[in-house]
């Protein structure tokens, strides 16, 4: 669920030949598109709002007092578009019936806004609406507006974008490095939730390269490895066996926690830690590195005093608690309590931690490893889930891993543009007090990708 979020822009300066006054586009004939057209008519004053519950979901309307929604929609035209009618000038995302992102312009003005709309599961009512300054029309001020949104986000937010370039090393060999494009608090270390699985994929690629493990090897599921959602493998019976390549694909595409823990257990915690140390500036925050089951045992503990003992211990004692037979090893998370986990829990104490720069380095390293002969399935696993760039033709390849839990959101993308240039970008948002909205965070990814698509 989203609420309307409006940051009134300064005048966007349109580059010559970019958008003329009559360069309007047709909104697609989808459930989201038809509702988007209705929203624009309301914004323009051509259609009365009527009874909000006829068009908006109950959950959406929880955040609005009577009459407030009309005021918000009216303010978009009056304040955001200099009182001029809204006209759609680009369709930025229309890959499904469920959601749509467009850019609108105040007729005859240099005001541009991005409008994201999402439908509920039944495609009957609007469940989300985000209106913000549009990206993609004036270069430097686009990034400035982007930073402004990050700075105003709940909790703490950070972002980094780089191009992967090749440079010649001292030995004459060509190596990849990150060339900065844009950054906002890129060195700020924050909790990253499931984005840590990039480290697991990197450790797996190194293990396959070194002959430690085979992608065709089958790994057996035991109850003491079974984790909690997300993922479907937790529902498999004890003794179920899966190929390593299948586990990797499920870990990235579905963020399957049980698949992740099977890979960590098979390779060893220490091997994943070694990869993590090679791509992060502060690895001590992640040692010992926790499996997802162990993390759940701290977040939704069956016996809170075991959690307290772990959190109050040094690294050596923590490792003893995680070792076979140790006190945390014997613990099981309280699956029943998972349904009540709606607020941030221990996001600065029990987590996986990295900066956006760390995540980009990890993604670049996995990308490089995936080029090694025999590791093609690593690249395939990385590209199964394209995140919010599912149908964007500007990117010939997209690899993605995100993370989310109450109080933590993260994403990391690697994207090869249609001209062959490759970019990585990452963002993290974290709050110790507030649950966070996923869809506005995803919208930042779309905007960042739009800016990178134009980067010269």
Quote the pLDDT of residue 453. 87
Domain end position, chosen among 71, 103, 138: 138
**For residue 253, what are the domain limits?**
152-454
* Contact indicator for 117, 97 with CB cutoff of 8 Å: no
**Would residue 109 count as lying in a domain?**
yes
Whose CA is closest to 115, among 179, 105, 190? Answer: 105
245 plus 332 within the same structural domain = yes
In angstroms, the CA 326 to CA 456 distance is 54
Q: Are residues 130 and 157 in the same domain?
A: no
Based on the domain organization, do 46 and 115 belong to the same domain?
Answer: yes
Q: What is the distance between the alpha carbons of residues 274 and 288, in angstroms, rounded to a whole number? A: 11
pLDDT recorded at residue 17: 35
CA–CA distance, 456 with 451 (Å, rounded to integer)? 10
Report pLDDT digits (tens) over 250-271.
999 999 999 999 999 999 999 9
The answer to whether residues 427 and 410 touch, using CB atoms and an 8 Å cutoff, is: yes
Residue among 246, 241, 248 at smallest CA distance from 204: 248
C-alpha span between 327 and 166 (Å, rounded):
48
Q: How far apart are the first and last CA of the chain?
A: 36
CATH of the domain at 55: 3.10.450.280
Assess contact for 142 and 159: CB atoms under 8 A.
no
Say what the pLDDT of residue 143 is.
Answer: 80
Q: Is residue 3 part of a domain?
A: no
Question: Is the link from the previous residue into 49 a cis peptide, with omega within 30 of 0?
Answer: no
CATH number of the CATH domain containing 428: 3.40.710.10
Q: In what order do the strands lie in the sheet with 126-133?
A: 86-93, 99-106, 112-119, 126-133
Q: 63 φ, ψ to 5°?
A: -95, 5
The DSSP code for 8 is P
Question: CA-to-CA distance for 89 and 24, rounded, in angstroms?
Answer: 5
Question: Domain end: 138, 163, 181, which one?
Answer: 138
Under DSSP, the state recorded for 278 is H
Beta strands in 318-407 (DSSP E): 353-354, 395-405
Contact of 103 with 86, CB cutoff 8 Å: no
Q: At what angle do helices 376-383 and 197-209 cross, to 10 degrees?
A: 160
Using the Cα atoms of residue 347, residue 353, residue 356 and residue 362 in order, give the sign of their dihedral. Answer: negative
pLDDT (0 to 100) of residue 241: 97
**Last residue in a domain, options 114, 138, 162:** 138
Q: What per-residue confidence (pLDDT) applies to 272?
A: 98
The radius of gyration computed from the CA coordinates of the chain, to the nearest angstrom, equals: 23
Do residues 344 and 433 make contact, with C-beta atoms less than 8 angstroms apart? Answer: yes
Quick one: 197 and 320 in the same domain? yes
Residues 119 and 36 in one domain: yes
CA dihedral 61, 62, 68, 74 (to 10 degrees): -40
**Which pLDDT tens digit goes with each residue over 186-218?**
999 999 999 999 999 999 999 999 999 999 999
Q: Which residues of the chain have pLDDT under 70?
A: 1-23, 93-95, 110, 133-141, 390-391
What does the pLDDT read at residue 111?
A: 74
Query: For the chain, give me the number of helices (H) and strands (E)?
Result: 14, 13
Q: Into how many domains does the chain fold? A: 2
Mark whether 68 and 38 lie in a shared domain.
yes
Is residue 114 situated within a structural domain? yes
> What pLDDT was estimated at residue 320?
97
Q: Looking at residue 1, what is its pLDDT?
A: 39
Instruction: Give the pLDDT of residue 95.
Output: 59
Q: Give the chain's length.
A: 456
Q: Are residues 80 and 184 in the same domain?
A: no
| 230 close to 257: Cβ distance less than 8 angstroms | yes
């Amino acid at each position: 669920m989203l609420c309307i979020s409006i940051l009134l822009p300064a005048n966007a300066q349109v580059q010559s030949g970019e958008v003329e006054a009559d360069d309007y586009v047709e909104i697609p004939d989808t459930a989201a598109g038809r509702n988007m057209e209705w929203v624009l008519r309301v914004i323009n004053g051509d259609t009365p709002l009527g009874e909000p519950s006829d068009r908006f979901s109950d959950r959406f309307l929880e955040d609005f007092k009577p009459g407030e929604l009309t005021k918000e929609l009216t303010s978009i035209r009056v304040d955001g578009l200099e009182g001029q009618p809204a006209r759609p000038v680009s369709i930025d995302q229309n890959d499904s019936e469920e959601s749509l992102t467009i850019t609108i312009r105040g007729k005859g003005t240099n005001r541009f806004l991005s409008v994201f709309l999402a439908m509920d599961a039944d495609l009957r009512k609007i469940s989300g609406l985000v209106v913000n300054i549009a990206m993609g029309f004036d270069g430097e001020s686009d990034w400035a507006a982007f930073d402004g949104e990050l700075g105003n986000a709940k909790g703490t937010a950070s972002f980094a974008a780089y191009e992967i370039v090749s440079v010649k090393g001292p030995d004459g060999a060509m190596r990849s490095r990150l060339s900065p494009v844009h950054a906002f608090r890129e060195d700020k270390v924050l909790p990253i939730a499931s984005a840590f699985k990039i480290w697991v994929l990197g450790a797996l690629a190194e293990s396959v390269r070194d002959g430690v493990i085979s992608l065709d090897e089958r790994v057996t599921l035991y109850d003491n490895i079974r984790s909690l959602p997300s993922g479907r493998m937790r529902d498999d019976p004890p003794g179920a066996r899966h190929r390593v390549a299948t586990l990797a694909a499920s870990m990235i595409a579905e963020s399957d926690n049980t698949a992740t823990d099977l890979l960590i257990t098979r390779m060893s915690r220490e091997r994943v830690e070694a990869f993590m140390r090679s791509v992060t500036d502060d690895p001590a925050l992640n040692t010992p590195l926790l499996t997802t089951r162990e993390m759940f045992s701290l977040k939704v503990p069956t016996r809170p005093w075991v959690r307290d003992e772990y959190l109050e211990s040094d690294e050596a004692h923590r490792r003893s608690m995680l070792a076979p037979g140790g006190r945390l090893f014997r613990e099981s998370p309280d699956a029943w309590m998972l349904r009540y986990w709606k607020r941030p829990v221990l996001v600065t104490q029990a987590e996986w931690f990295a900066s956006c720069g760390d995540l980009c380095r990890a993604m670049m390293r996995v990308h490089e490893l995936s080029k090694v002969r025999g590791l093609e399935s690593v690249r395939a696993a990385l590209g199964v889930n394209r995140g919010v760039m599912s149908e964007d033709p500007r990117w010939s390849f997209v690899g993605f891993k995100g993370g989310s839990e109450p109080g933590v959101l993260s994403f990391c993308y690697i994207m090869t543009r249609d001209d062959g240039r490759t970019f990585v970008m990452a963002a993290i948002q974290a709050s110790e007090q507030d649950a966070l909205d996923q869809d506005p965070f995803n919208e930042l990814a779309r905007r960042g990708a739009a800016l990178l698509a134009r980067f010269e």
